[in-house]
Amino acid sequence: MLIAPRQRRHLVTTSINPPMQLDKGCVERTFTVALIDSSLYGGSDPWLGRFASALPCRGIHFLAIDVLASLSLGEGKGEGDQTLPLSAKDSFERMHAGLAADLAPYPEVVVVARGAIPSLVAQYYVESISLSALVLVDPFLLPRRVLEEATKAENEVAGATLQESAAWVLDNLESPDRCGKAELQLLEELTRGAYDRPLRLEPGSVQTHVMYTGGGHTCEAHHRKVAELVAGRHADDSGGSYRGRVEARALASEGEAVDLIEQWCNDVL
């Protein structure tokens, strides 16, 4: 059963409709792109600004969603106390419920989930509620207990995935805010197996594309391997059609991400 707060907090932080004057050659689209970004990339991360400025001018309605807003992080005991007021189980259920409520008004949605926690929430969401398409950026593999019918390769990678991802985040994140601390705490609890809800998303059930941060950072090879394994779990080759294929692609910049995601949506929708 999904748990909702008594006074539900809306998760949509930005909503931008296409302007009257679109970029040359663009027409207004029927779908909405919703960016669910992680706070662990740093406060100056340019993804939100780039998506918000580029997509509406190309005829695409844009939403920015903060799933952690549903966790009432400001209601903790104090700045130095435990940041996450809920268990991992209740946290994921509340994020799922909030996301379902805020996306309900939009009939055609492409979710772009960036980072470990947003990617996991998006995959749980699409198990029961349809999306037009799903883009996972820097996803991660769950610990072995959570994977159903995990392959040997997945099990070998899963044990180190969370620790390596968290280490890379800590090396690149200065003074994380409440949301950043809450995400890190959720990652740590997943590592310990504190939340064991299986991921049951059927391969091919939603058009999916997987991307990972490139650019030569220290964990790029690790992120690539994880992205390829996640892409493999979502692929459905039984029909031999383009719609069943799932690629894992490196990203050099947020500008490249906008262009690739828009082109991929044009191809599959």
| CB 111 within 8 Å of CB 269 | no
3-state secondary structure of 49: helix
Q: How many whole angstroms separate alpha carbon 105 and alpha carbon 138? A: 27
Non-local CB neighbours of 112 within 8 Å, separated by 6+ positions:
33, 34, 35, 36, 51, 135, 137, 261
Cβ burial, residue 33 (10 Å; 0-12/13-18/19+): buried
| Cα distances (Å, whole numbers) of residue 77 to 30, 72, 148, 177, 179 | 44, 12, 37, 15, 15
Instruction: Give me the pLDDT at residue 238, please.
Output: 60
3-state secondary structure of 20: coil
243 vs 250: which has the higher pLDDT: 250
Instruction: Give me the pLDDT at residue 153, please.
Output: 58
| CB 226 within 8 Å of CB 139 | yes
| Domain residue ranges in the chain | 12-268
pTM attached to this predicted model: 0.84
Instruction: Give me the pLDDT at residue 240, please.
Output: 45
Range among 48-52, 211-215, 250-254 rated most confident: 48-52
Task: Evaluate if residue 18 carries a pLDDT over 80.
Answer: yes
Query: CATH classification of 12-268, choosing from 3.40.50.920, 3.40.50.1820, 1.10.10.10, 3.40.50.300?
Result: 3.40.50.1820
Instruction: Give me the pLDDT at residue 223, please.
Output: 78
Structure tokens belonging to residue 62? 């844009």
Instruction: Give me the pLDDT at residue 2, please.
Output: 46
The per-residue pLDDT of the chain, averaged, comes to 78
Instruction: Give me the pLDDT at residue 69, please.
Output: 79
Residue range 224-238: mean pLDDT, rounded: 80
Neighbours of 114 (CB within 10 A): 26
Instruction: Give me the pLDDT at residue 142, please.
Output: 61
Structure tokens belonging to residue 12? 């949509």
Question: For 71-78, which contacts have Cβ atoms below 8 Å and span 24 or more sequence positions?
Answer: 71/95, 71/182, 72/5, 72/9, 73/178, 73/179, 73/182, 74/178, 76/178
Give percent of the chain with pLDDT exceeding 90.
Answer: 28
For 28-70, write each residue's pLDDT tens digit.
999 999 999 887 776 556 889 999 999 999 999 999 998 887 7
